[in-house]
Copies of this chain bind each other. A is one copy, B any other.
Amino acid sequence: MTGPTTAAKKATDIGCLLDARSIAVVGASSDPAKIGGRPIAYLLRGGYSGRIVPVNPMHPRIQGIAAVKDIRDAEPVDLAIIATPAAAADDAVAACVQAGAKGIILFTAGYAEADMAGAGKQAELVARAQSAGAVMLGPNCLGAINFHTGLIATFTTALEIEQPRAGGFSYFGQSGALGAYWIEMAARAGLGLGKWLSTGNEAQVNSADALAYLANDPDTKLIAAYFEDIKDPENFAIAADIARANGKRIIALKSGQSAAGKRAARAHTASQPGDDGWYEELFARHGIIRVRSLSEMIDTATLLSSATPFPTSDRLAFVTVSGGAGILMCDSAAEVGLGIAEFSPALTDALRTILPGFAQPQNPIDVTGAVLSDHLLMPHILDLLANSGECDGIVLFIGAMDAISDTLLAAIAQVRDQGFPLTVIWMAAPAKVRPALQDLGIPLFSDIPPAMAAIAAATRG
């Protein structure tokens, strides 16, 4: 691993966005469903303890908080959110800079992604912010969130229903919409969320700045990224190495591999997706995990955040209640380059004494329908494997089995209590299985290929 050899521009510090102690909302609305009303409603509901300054020329109070007519009338704030209509956005940026705001979030679209005139206006805004030492996120972005402090500087509807649990999983990305789905999907998967950044057109703050912040952020343990291109690869690579040195994995969804995808990316955020091989090499060199979909990102994060994460190893044991599923597990593992453990004669003999006479004591281990009547069979097999020293993780396949689901869940809990890596594929599972495994911190999949893809991603990097 060698670092970049040329002197890199220092990453822009975005602490003024995510750690702001005071926030103004320019274009604040009394309607919590409007773009200018939603951030205030979210800040209030999220328990944000800093100062909130609604800016509205007409109304002295917004959602119960004293407002100012102009941001320049207020004490300087750390962060100004601009939620005005497009026509007023340029003036609003100028006013925020004059008012001494350290950070600015510009939701408005219609800049570089639209046309040349927009690109010109965007360059002017950046120059104005930078000359005053201010940091601007956007334009054409959905804002930023600190789930630990209730700093919710976004108008995404993803937070309308309920506030996700705070935790260590953070996101940055060029797509605000995908970021919003990420919030919903990560929350549904039971993952706790850290920081969130929608970088939009990346006029000033780009993905390298976002990654640099998260790499050093004590609240962040695991990083998700969506991007179409990387505008500052040097600083991105430096930040990725810092993240790795701090024990944080990065899961990246990079789009624009195909010809049609590249064309669509240019229309979306004026991105230049470039040669995919270059990105593959970057990811390999800096230990970045690449996934192909949001689902795979959430699956991989669930595995990496589980109570018993898998090591990097080819010594996996497969245990199955269905012989057919055992074969499919082998095929699917081979397809993503995962190996399975070869058992010693001693372990094979030990398995033979536990398994029913007609079952073969080999990997994958088919416990057969005998598991339905012999309630000690599954705990015995799992215990034997976990203490064998011959495998480093177990992938367990179960289908339906409503009648003995409590017995199976207890066997799973026992392996988990030993701290031995375990992942469960439970097809056509009874309703209680998902919450039970979520409580245990054990990943659950409903079919084989997504499980193997996520295990490969999480263990291979």
Contact = CB atoms under 8 A, between A and B. Distances in A.
A132 interface: no
Interface string A93-129: 0000000000000000110011000000000000000
A327 B273 CA distance: 10
Interface residues of A, number: 75
A340 B257 CA distance: 15
B324 A428 contact: no
A165 interface: no
Contacts of A174: 324
Interface string A259-276: 111011101110001000
A330 to B, nearest CB: 4
Nearest to A359: B267
A364 interface: yes
A261 B318 CA distance: 12
Contact of A399 (B180, B261, B263, B273): B180
Contact of A175 (B160, B263, B323): B323
Interface in A371-406: 399-403
Contact of A293 (B273, B333, B363, B449): B449
Contact of A264 (B263, B267, B323): B323
A161 B323 CA distance: 24
A326 B177 contact: no
A323 B173 CA distance: 12
Interface in A311-338: 321-328, 330-335
Contacts of A113: 358
B261 A328 contact: yes
A402 B160 CA distance: 10
Contacts of A157: 400-403
Interface string A339-372: 0100000000000000001101011101011000
A311 B428 CA distance: 31
Contacts of A403: 157
Nearest to A183: B428
Copies in the complex: 2
A172 to B, nearest CB: 13
A154 to B, nearest CB: 13
Contacts of A333: 258, 260
A160 B330 CA distance: 30
Interface string A394-431: 00000111110000000000000000000000011000
A181 B399 contact: yes
A196 interface: no
Given A157-B403, A331-B256, A185 B428 contact: yes
Contacts of A267: 323, 360, 362, 366
A368 B268 CA distance: 10
Contacts of A258: 330-331, 333-335
Contact of A255 (B184, B264, B328, B399): B328
Contact of A257 (B292, B293, B334): B334
A321 B428 CA distance: 31
Contacts of A188: 428
Contact of A324 (B185, B268, B295, B360): B268
Nearest to A358: B114
A66 interface: no
A257 B331 contact: yes
A363 B292 CA distance: 21
Nearest to A268: B323
Contacts of A334: 257-261
A322 to B, nearest CB: 3
B177 A332 contact: no
A178 interface: yes
Contact of A177 (B273, B294, B325): B325
16 contacts: A109-B358, A175-B324, A177-B324, A178-B322, A180-B428, A185-B427, A258-B335, A260-B363, A263-B330, A264-B327, A267-B362, A267-B366, A268-B326, A268-B327, A292-B332, A295-B449
Given A185-B428, A267-B323, 8 more contacts: A161-B402, A178-B322, A258-B331, A263-B330, A264-B364, A264-B366, A267-B360, A293-B449
